[in-house]
Chain A
Amino acid sequence: MSRSSVTGPDAFTGTTPDTALRTADAEQKGAMLAADGTPLKRSLNRALRAQKLRALALIAPLLLFVVITFIAPIADMLFRSVENQIVVETLPRTVATLDEWDGDGLPDDATFQALSVDLSVAAELKTHTRLGSRLNYENTGLSSLFRKSGRGVDEIGEGYLDQFVAVNPAWEDPLVWAELMGDPAWLAQAREADGAGPRFELAAGIDEILPRTADAYTAFADIVQTVDNDNPADEEPWAIVYQMLYLDLMDAPQIDGPPLLAEAAAAVPGFATFPAREGFAEIDDGWTDPATWRTIKTFSGPYTSGYFLTAADLRLTPDGIQREPEETRIYATLFGRTMFMSLTIMGCCILLGYPIAFLLSNLPMRTSNILLILVLLPFWTSLLVRTSAWKVLLQEQGVINDILVWIGLVSDGNRLALINNQAGTIIAMTHILLPFMILPLYSVMKTIPPSYMRAAKSLGATDWTAFWRVYFPQSVPGIGAGCILVFILSIGYYITPELVGGTTGTFISNRIAYHISQSLNWGLAAALGTILLAFVLALYWIYDRIVGIDNVSLG
């Protein structure tokens, strides 16, 4: 916004509360009173405040609307570019135990046990596949690993289940478990209730005697109630709960609990062991690869710079930041191409726009107004219409190639490939953005007095010198404004490159769209978008310094 704004308080010439206040300030020696007897200064202050509030009240609805419908979405995108809650939300226990792992070899058994609980929960909630896709961006293969493990995780601990049942068949009874783990008051209500019943509550003190079992059983009860809408008192616990019971009983030499528990505690030292680690190795040997674990640990934080690094062709690995291998460095190429093509389009727009703006500003008003319509018509025509026109004209069997063949410039067999490549994008976008170059140039050139050129010529300058030394420097602000406008618009363009650009003429925005709708890597799309946005805002800041956003005119 330019500082020469006409509506600013300082530019206002009449008496306003503000200027009157200043006058009052300057003149006031004794207390000057307003008509109602209050000191004038206070009365004017009140009026000024009321005026400010009134203005804000008029603006507030729209401001609120824009903040909710537009600013919040942009903020959401910025947030998503660093957000990485999914790992810690899906695998909370695993992430907690991995904290102590030093990254050498495989993590300890506690981690595998934590993973078995987390994965059982995730498999029921079906979040393990999403986590798999997320981690697959960082380590290819993890997607199938998680899918497979989600299917196989309910077998982990089955060995213990069988052994506990062999000791006493009562272990198979859901009610026995509910009595052991649940709060008696909860159980009484749960047995009366239909469906899920009241929310599961752990019996007092059980989490001290059997901490891991209590945790696994709580997770089980929660899933049974929220996902399946069943009563935990009617459902047999997951196999991993038996595994946790085994581990708890092995760790606690002294059990003072119900006889059933004491009986089991006496039996467990004789049990065959089925470590969770081996269970996972059986499902997929990806779990025995330390790289899998290092990836999970590296991306376990709630926020990550991973997406931005990917957007810069870097990769966050457990060993630090590394460059992508040569063949997968696509983003630098893509950003480079976006820059290069935007600059080319901008250059074409100057070349084509300058003569037109010069002609329009030097013709009599009547003629130039008519010719201006030829510039405004494309400006007002639907973008899709212009793109379809180019798609039709530039085809191999299209009008342009037909004419070239007819003239004889090109033989019928060698029709030019004008579409689905960079040439197509540059031609179509130059046409689409040309009015944005001509209009600012024209508005600047109109203000250059023709007498300057005449003066230069009468002082002996040739036509060229007069133009180059006198006229051109005065038109530079217009070129600057037009260039920035065209450049900003073109680096964010999506539709035209998508339709006429093929694979070599696409921009970074096409990649963003691809990640949103096809690869579903939203974080990367958000990171690419954030980089593009930062770039555009920087350019706008420059534009604002040169021309002022207030001076954007709309034809």
Chain B
Amino acid sequence: MGLPPYASTGQKIWHYTFLVICGLIFFFLIAPIVTIIPLSFNAENFFTFTPGMLAFDPDAYSLKHYRDFFTNPDWQQALANSVRIAPVATLLSVTLGTLAAVGLSQSHVPFRRLIMAILISPMIVPLIISAAGMYFFYSRIGLQGTYLGVVLAHAALGIPFVIITVTATLVGFDRSLTRASANLGAGPVRTFFRVQMPLILPGVISGGLFAFITSFDEVVVVLFVGSAAQKTLPWQMFIGLREQISPTILAVATILVVISIALLTVVELLRRRSERLRGLSPA
């Protein structure tokens, strides 16, 4: 949005004021996340910049909070649990979700709207309500406080993301390809894996990433459905923030920020690839 050469002084002032306002808002968006990164290298157990840090004194920085994260059994247990829960939940939601998305994209599906509403509902219902319901119901059937219970709950929460991304990819899918494949003698299974799957794979992967992030980042449901043995990383952070706030949380947060930057990059690359494959110009 360039400024025309004939802009008046008032317009110029307004233009630059607007840019400054936008800059401040971007600062508001990013600053909190960026600030915690240097703070996590604090040599003291403080949550603010020490005079030494501001003077860039190397002694004021240390890796001790990272060391604590990697040696403290509480944090390691939490990390191990997160790593055990999220991939299994993701695998469940991606497998079932992709299958259903392929079914939903057929041209004749009875009760399409109703089915879609049911499948999307875990995303719509506030987490605290899902958590309450699952807590009540899973205690009835003996799944409360078990690994399986947490995995099932997280898989349910991840499904809407898989459905949305995969159906969106399938919208642009050229169905004459599957017909051509059938015409050349491939069965439906072979057609799916050799023709359809490679083309919708970017959508499947980004749906999977969303599902993974949902599970990896989820704390409300696991707080209720899980027991101490299923304590995940976000749960440990939640306890840390509520009870004894320790700077190790900042180290964990920094690690998670790095992971999310990596995931964001992957999703962005996948989106571009998918658009290229579908012959759409990057929008």
Contacts and interface: CB of A to CB of B under 8 A. Distances in A.
A binds B: yes
A56 B234 CA distance: 37
Contacts of B249: 388
Interface stretch (B56-64, B69-77, B151-159, B194-202): B151-159
Interface string A467-503: 0000000000000000000001101111100110000
A62 B132 contact: no
Report, nearest first, the 9 A-B pairs whose CB atoms are least far apart: A492-B126, A58-B103, A73-B133, A73-B137, A62-B100, A77-B133, A509-B128, A389-B32, A362-B1
Contacts of B124: 488, 536-537, 540, 549
Most buried by B among A58, A359, A374: A58
Contacts of A66: 118-119, 121-122, 156, 159
A18 B136 CA distance: 45
A384 B260 contact: no
Contacts of B161: 554
Given A73-B130, A76-B133, A533-B126, A389 B33 contact: yes
A1 B155 contact: no
B164 A552 contact: yes
A509 B131 CA distance: 11
B190 interface: no
Nearest to B136: A76
A72 interface: yes
B183 interface: no
A386 B33 contact: yes
Given A61-B100, A373-B264, A381 B256 contact: yes
Contacts of B46: 397
Interface string B245-259: 100011001001100
Given A8-B107, A58-B102, A552-B164, 11 more contacts: A7-B105, A12-B107, A52-B109, A55-B109, A70-B130, A73-B135, A74-B133, A80-B136, A377-B264, A529-B128, A555-B267
Interface string A374-406: 111110111111111111110101110010000
Given A66-B121, A69-B152, A384 B219 contact: yes
Interface stretch (A217-225, A274-282, A510-518): A510-518
Interface in A61-90: 61-63, 65-67, 69-77, 80
Interface in A349-377: 352, 355-356, 359, 362-363, 371, 373-377
Contacts of B182: none
Contacts of A525: 132
B118 A67 contact: yes
A207 B127 CA distance: 54
A273 interface: no
Interface residues of A, number: 100
A26 B232 CA distance: 63
Contact of A58 (B100, B133, B152, B267): B100
A225 B161 CA distance: 52
B133 A529 contact: yes
Contact of B103 (A6, A55, A552): A55
Contacts of A355: 18, 21-22, 25
B163 to A, nearest CB: 8
Contacts of A1: 112-113, 116-117
Contacts of B47: 392, 395, 397-399
Contacts of B128: 492-494, 509, 512-513, 529, 532
Interface in B89-126: 92, 96-97, 99-100, 102-110, 112-113, 115-122, 124-126
B193 interface: no
B250 to A, nearest CB: 7
Nearest to A552: B164
A374 B22 CA distance: 12
Contact of B30 (A374, A463, A493, A495): A374
Contacts of A210: none
B48 A76 contact: no
Interface string B76-94: 0000000000000000100
Nearest to B192: A58
B255 to A, nearest CB: 9
B122 A7 contact: no
B260 A380 contact: yes
Interface string A21-55: 00000000000000000000000000010011011
Interface of A: 1, 6-9, 12, 14, 16-18, 48, 51-52, 54-59, 61-63, 65-67, 69-77, 80, 352, 355-356, 359, 362-363, 371, 373-378, 380-393, 395, 397-399, 402, 431, 434-435, 463, 488-489, 491-495, 498-499, 509, 512-513, 516-517, 522, 525-526, 529, 532-533, 536-537, 540, 549-550, 552-555
B188 to A, nearest CB: 8
17 contacts: A9-B107, A58-B99, A66-B122, A70-B130, A73-B133, A73-B134, A75-B133, A80-B136, A362-B1, A380-B261, A381-B33, A390-B32, A463-B14, A488-B124, A495-B238, A526-B136, A533-B125
Contact of B25 (A356, A377, A492, A555): A356
A486 to B, nearest CB: 13
A359 B1 CA distance: 8
Contacts of B131: 494, 513
A553 B161 CA distance: 10
Interface string B203-226: 000000010010011011000100
Nearest to A52: B108
Contacts of A491: 126
A4 B33 CA distance: 39
Chain B interface size band reads 35 or more
Query: In this complex, which of A65, A376, A395, A488 has the most chain B Cβ atoms within 10 angstroms of its Cβ?
Result: A65
Given A70-B122, A73-B137, A494-B220, A371 B26 contact: yes
A378 B22 CA distance: 16
Contacts of A540: 124
B55 interface: no
B103 A512 contact: no
Interface in B1-47: 1, 11, 14, 18-19, 21-22, 25-26, 28-30, 32-33, 35-36, 39, 46-47
A529 B129 CA distance: 6
B140 A74 contact: no
Contacts of A371: 26
A76 B140 contact: yes
Contacts of A67: 118
A522 B126 contact: no
A381 B257 contact: yes
A434 B106 contact: no
B171 A388 contact: no
A514 to B, nearest CB: 11
Interface in B161-205: 161, 164-165, 167-168, 170-171, 175-176
A223 B63 CA distance: 62
B277 interface: no
A61 B125 contact: no
A376 B36 contact: no
A453 B263 CA distance: 38
Nearest to A394: B32
A48 to B, nearest CB: 6
